[in-house]
Copies of this chain bind each other. A is one copy, B any other.
Amino acid sequence: MFSERLVQDAALIQAQFDLVLGALDDVDVTHAMAYATQGGKRLRGFLVLESARLHGMDETCAIWPATGIEALHAYSLVHDDLPCMDNDDLRRGRPTVHKQWNDGIAVLAGDALQALAFELCARPEVGPAEIRADLALTLAQAAGARGMVLGQALDIAAETAQQPLSLEDITRLQAGKTGALIEWSGCAGARLAGENPERMRQYSRALGLAFQIADDILDVEGDAQKAGKRLQKDAEAGKATFVSLLGLDAAKARAAELVDEACAALDSYGERAETLKEAARFVIARES
């Protein structure tokens, strides 16, 4: 059920990107925007759509923030891959945007994708103004210097730090770097329905942390071909990760524990939450 839903939702989001990006001028930057948004699992967009369904909202309004969060995620990858950041040549099995075009186009395409994310959340089609303002505000908080960018800043600071990061430091770093957007995505469906997102917050916080631990495990054990990106990066860079701090077995046990926590947070929704529970189990079983 989950795996088919993930594929269907990815197709819905792609169609929405085609619609939105197809209306833009025919220049390198907009081509780079389209390129950067292709492929990937679209887990964040799926979380928006599926959490919306769980709260009785249909796809015609949820597709906008679902596409918006994927635009924001794509921008973060394009900028992360730049030579002055992680300097990666490969992303989702293809050349990164700055390799396909150049660094200037990658900076601009990322910048425009971030603006697009806010546009898609604030559009009239999304729903009442209260909800659109709430989505835009919470997305800005998740994306900015108290969310995703803070995580990236802490990551950069760690490279020149005197002491290796502790488990607490890494947890805080990852809560920003990957956690903030995943949490926003899981809460978005409740927000779209004007409901309290607390249960979804518990679910998606645990999910986000499990996702990151699984990423660290994948970085050590994974197959670069299947992952579509360079692996063993953290070990090469001498970075502390959940795996280097906990060891491989304890990291796997912790990830499994977090998945149980995520699922438990949804128990009060009953059977309708089964697809989201499956998503949590998938997150630690994935190969890419």
Contacts and interface: CB of A to CB of B under 8 A. Distances in A.
A137 B118 CA distance: 7
Interface residues of A, number: 53
Contacts of A139: 118
Q: How many copies does the complex hold?
A: 2
B145 A116 contact: yes
B156 A108 contact: yes
Interface string A98-123: 00001111011011101110110111
A33 B145 contact: yes
B157 A28 contact: yes
A10 interface: no
A104 B144 contact: no
A107 B119 contact: no
A70 to B, nearest CB: 15
Contacts of A144: 112, 115-116, 119
A85 interface: yes
10 contacts: A28-B156, A79-B107, A111-B111, A112-B145, A114-B114, A115-B140, A119-B141, A122-B140, A123-B137, A129-B129
